[in-house]
Structure 1
Amino acid sequence: MRGYTPPTTRRRVVAALAAAVTAFAAAAALPGPADAAQPAARKVETIPCPRPTVKPPKGRPARPIPPKDDPVLRAVGGDGLATDGLVVPAGSPRPPALTATSWLVADLDTGEVLGGCGPHVYGTPASVQKLLLVATVMDKLDPKKVITVTPGDLDIEPGSSAVGLLKGGQYNVSTLWLGLLLNSGNDAANTLARLGGGAGGLPATITDMNAEAKRLGAYQTHAVTPSGLDGPGQFTSAYDLALIARSCFAKPDFRKYALTETAKIPAQKRLKKGGFQIQNENKLIYNYKGALGGKTGFTKLARHSYVGGAERNGRRLVATVLGAEAAPLRGWQQGAALLDWGFSLPKDASVGKLVAPASTDAQVTSADSSGAGAAPEQDRPAAAAARTSADRGLSLGMAAVIAVVLAATPLQHLLTQRRRRRVPRRTAVPR
């Protein structure tokens, strides 16, 4: 019968796969199938992150419930990063005490992670989400192109940050980027997302943002809005933000905009409205020697988030902060304190690695069945394991075990189904 596999062949295939899993597990000193259910012999101690003694502000909303932790995603960039606590190089000075729930410091050029606090703990991004919009859309748009603002572009949460774009107003794209990065304009974010999505508009850009996150290796990041305004299921991590920031700082236009102190929003004579000036809200660029810029963020739900970069003695570092309070240090000051700590470490200090982006032909597309640009559930851990292994993250043994298990399970299931039914395989029907 066409499509039928003899029972003897099926048993040999399954047995071979099981043997491969056991062999890889033994090589990596990991539990094999027989003892996978047994408790780990050694529990890694979680080191508390240094925190100041401060009372949480009154009226702070409860943190949103994050997705279930995935042990593979928590180890992207290195096994040592899979902690809710502190991870720093041995013998390093004590990092600053911060209110941030999670943070990370990394080298923008080498990709080495210098240290972190809960690097892969899920957090809510607020306006640092705009960096993912930059990473996704900036290279698609001509900065000199003049566009017209639509009513939908101004559909933002009342009271949220805005540049003050006018319906029917005409602005060039570079002005929109300045409004996004200096003034954290949610109206500018909507406009840029609409333009970047082409015929698909803003929804297409959100899909592309999630695809870009996966391409960069930011598997814990899921965008619901282009601006970072809160939305259900919108999360990121300090590690993911460093990957996204690294992509942004590689763009000359971003570096130029991020260091711009003031910009002029042009008058709209046709609408009888005058022009006005905006100022960069990232105070790092005024107060920190060697600052490269970055992005601030705040919502009541997310609290303060921050991404900041700086250069010192030819070394470029980035600090990412999530879930911080404004006292005793504001978000940018917490970023500055982390940069100071990072620059105090030797150049070869490392606790992990920022993974390299996937090649263009391997980029996750908007056609993914799981929606919003996320990799399919079955493929996501395998891709993460493979990427991490290539960048000195998970051990080769662990990556191999994960890949073999993921490959073996669907095949074994398929063979079992064929053995039961012994009918030709039919073409799958989308649901």
Structure 2
Amino acid sequence: MTGAVRAGNAAAAEVPCPRPKIVKPSAPPRPVPPADDPEAMKVGGGDLATHGLIVPAGAKQPPAVTATTWIVADLDSGEVLGACGPHVYQTPASVQKTLLAATAIDKLNPKQNVKVVQSDLDIEENSSAVGIVVGGTYPVSTLWLGLLLNSGNDAANALARMAGGGGADGVAKTVAAMNAKAAELGAFQTHAVTPSGLDGKGQFTSAYDLALIARVDFANADFRKYVLTKSAQMPAQKSPKVGGFQFQNENKLIYNYPGAMGGKTGFTTVARHSYVGAAQRNGRRLVVTLLGAEARPIRGWQQGAALLDWGFAQPAGSSVGHLVTPAEVQASAQATAATPEKATTGGLAGVAAKPAAKSGGLSVLAAGTVAVVLAAMPLSLLLVQRRRRRLARD
């Protein structure tokens, strides 16, 4: 890490995120988010605990975008190159479908056929749908394409139902699995209520969490194939008799950005525009996530493209934090369970499976016959794990 520019200590003022001057359109009031959790905001590094801008020392100022929060990170190294309010609660809109994919894509055989039931079409009026019909039968792979290209909320329900066992409680089971997956990844500010991202009471995420989720998605070959597909065909149905049709990928990044790897767009009138996108250039693979954006003067994917350009201009190794791994989260949970008193003393820096040369030293804690390796992972991860365990008991 090369150092960072931000409110690095309590006495410093937060650095405002660069934003263009715009006339905001009328929109419903945003949901009131949970109160900031000071420890959860430090996950991935203490410098990330800000509502403002955080960039490496000496970096050029990022482009002015309308997104309320955003993050740019390296998919491979996990380095966070820069961010604006990375841990600030936001409503996700359809980028929540990336969490559905991270949770369910390996559970379903892409060649399996799914018969659509009425509850699959139980979506908000005038919300996005790919056009599946009750009684129709569609391959899982086609439903994933309908979900990721056309943002089909009907496809989201069908996939969630099947991933949850196919019964009437299938969607609820999958939403529960999505929340469990988020916790497993360290996405502690994410709470799903719907599988599609349609607004639901208490549904939140953060730019940092979306980057964790995207890292899992882009590690999956099927996901990478789906999100780079430019168009797909919805098969005709015999009963009911419905003709087939073509649908297109709504993510304009793949048509206009060299090295684009794909991603996901999102919009609701409450959440405004959200976006997840990734690209590769000169051996580097970066991901950008942004939330709470307006479409003018430029659209969400264009804001993502501008931030990706900024990220690729940063030298390798410059960062302001990192994306935690599931192994780090698991190690933290084990350490918290073994020695919960450590989580309140400040004597434990955190947990990570990293070599000593990078971690600044290791200490070993025995719990029975189990050794837990302690390294320079933020204490925040331990405290968040402890808090989650306490809430689960309550």
TM-score, normalising length: structure 2: 0.84
Give me the whole-angstrom Cα distance separating, in 2, the residues matched to 1:400 and 1:227. Answer: 30
Corresponding letter in the other structure for 2:152: G
Who is 1:254 aligned against?
Answer: 223
Closer, same or farther: CA 113–52 of 1 in aligned 2, 3 Å:
same
- For residues 164-188 of structure 1, give each alpha carbon's deviation from its aligned partner in whole angstroms, at most 9, with x where no partner exists: 0000000010000000000000000
- Map 1:278-297 to 2 at 5 A: 278-297=247-266
Who is 1:227 aligned against?
Answer: 196
- For residues 356-386 of structure 1, give each alpha carbon's deviation from its aligned partner in whole angstroms, at most 9, with x where no partner exists: 014898899xxxxxxxxxxx9xx9x969x98
2:99 to 132, 153, 157: 132
Shift of 1:138: 0.3
Corresponding letter in the other structure for 1:329: I
- For residues 277-332 of structure 1, give each alpha carbon's deviation from its aligned partner in whole angstroms, at most 9, with x where no partner exists: 00000000000000000000000000000000000011000000000000011000
2:109 to 135, 142, 156: 142
Query: Could you say what secondary structure the match of 1:71 adopts?
Result: coil
Contact 2:350–2:378 under 8 Å retained in 1: no
Give me the whole-angstrom Cα distance separating, in 1, the residues matched to 2:375 and 2:186. Answer: 17
Contact 1:143–1:173 under 8 Å retained in 2: yes
Shift of 1:270: 2.5
Contact 2:287–2:308 under 8 Å retained in 1: yes
Corresponding letter in the other structure for 1:342: G
1:182 to 141, 146, 149: 149
Shift of 1:147: 1.3
Give me the whole-angstrom Cα distance separating, in 1, the residues matched to 2:86 and 2:236. Answer: 44
Who is 2:379 aligned against?
Answer: 399
2:69 to 98, 102, 117: 102
Shift of 1:269: 1.8
Unmatched tracts of structure 1, length 5 or more: 1-40, 365-375, 411-429
Who is 1:423 aligned against?
Answer: none
More strand by share: 2
Give me the whole-angstrom Cα distance separating, in 2, the residues matched to 1:150 and 1:359. Answer: 40
Closer, same or farther: CA 337–183 of 1 in aligned 2, 3 Å:
same
- For residues 177-234 of structure 1, give each alpha carbon's deviation from its aligned partner in whole angstroms, at most 9, with x where no partner exists: 0000000000000000000011541100000000000001100000000000000000
Closer, same or farther: CA 402–161 of 1 in aligned 2, 3 Å:
closer
Give me the whole-angstrom Cα distance separating, in 1, the residues matched to 2:308 and 2:380. Answer: 36
Unmatched tracts of structure 2, length 5 or more: 1-8, 361-373
Query: Could you say what secondary structure the match of 1:215 adopts?
Result: helix
Contact 1:76–1:388 under 8 Å retained in 2: no
Who is 2:232 aligned against?
Answer: 263
1:329 and 2:309 equivalent? no
Give me the whole-angstrom Cα distance separating, in 2, the residues matched to 1:131 and 1:83. Answer: 25
Who is 2:207 aligned against?
Answer: 238
- For residues 32-75 of structure 1, give each alpha carbon's deviation from its aligned partner in whole angstroms, at most 9, with x where no partner exists: xxxxxxxxx95132000001011111x21222110111111000
**Identical amino acids, percent of aligned pairs:** 64
- Map 1:199-238 to 2 at 5 A: 199=167, 200-238=169-207
Give me the whole-angstrom Cα distance separating, in 2, the residues matched to 1:298 and 1:136. Answer: 21
Contact 1:355–1:388 under 8 Å retained in 2: no
Query: Could you say what secondary structure the match of 2:275 adopts?
Result: strand
Who is 1:90 aligned against?
Answer: 57
Who is 2:366 aligned against?
Answer: none
- What's the C-alpha RMSD, in Å, of the aligned pairs? 3.0
Larger Rg, first or second structure (1 or 2): 1
Contact 2:191–2:205 under 8 Å retained in 1: yes
Closer, same or farther: CA 352–186 of 1 in aligned 2, 3 Å:
same
Shift of 1:387: 9.8
Corresponding letter in the other structure for 2:53: L
Contact 2:267–2:273 under 8 Å retained in 1: yes
Who is 2:118 aligned against?
Answer: 151
Query: Could you say what secondary structure the match of 2:278 adopts?
Result: strand
1:191 to 137, 158, 161: 158
TM-score, normalising length: structure 1: 0.77
More helix by share: 1
Shift of 1:396: 5.1
Corresponding letter in the other structure for 1:219: F
- For residues 69-115 of structure 1, give each alpha carbon's deviation from its aligned partner in whole angstroms, at most 9, with x where no partner exists: 11110000000000000000000111000111000000000000000
- For residues 230-282 of structure 1, give each alpha carbon's deviation from its aligned partner in whole angstroms, at most 9, with x where no partner exists: 00000000000000000000000000000000000000023211100000000
- For residues 123-155 of structure 1, give each alpha carbon's deviation from its aligned partner in whole angstroms, at most 9, with x where no partner exists: 000000000000000000000001100111110
- Map 1:58-77 to 2 at 5 A: 59-77=26-44
Contact 1:214–1:363 under 8 Å retained in 2: no
Closer, same or farther: CA 103–211 of 1 in aligned 2, 3 Å:
same
Closer, same or farther: CA 292–153 of 1 in aligned 2, 3 Å:
same
Closer, same or farther: CA 397–231 of 1 in aligned 2, 3 Å:
closer
Shift of 1:399: 2.1
Give me the whole-angstrom Cα distance separating, in 2, the residues matched to 1:359 and 1:321. Answer: 25
Closer, same or farther: CA 223–402 of 1 in aligned 2, 3 Å:
closer
Query: Could you say what secondary structure the match of 2:291 adopts?
Result: strand
Who is 1:160 aligned against?
Answer: 127
Corresponding letter in the other structure for 1:190: N
Give me the whole-angstrom Cα distance separating, in 2, the residues matched to 1:169 and 1:362. Answer: 45
Contact 1:89–1:114 under 8 Å retained in 2: yes
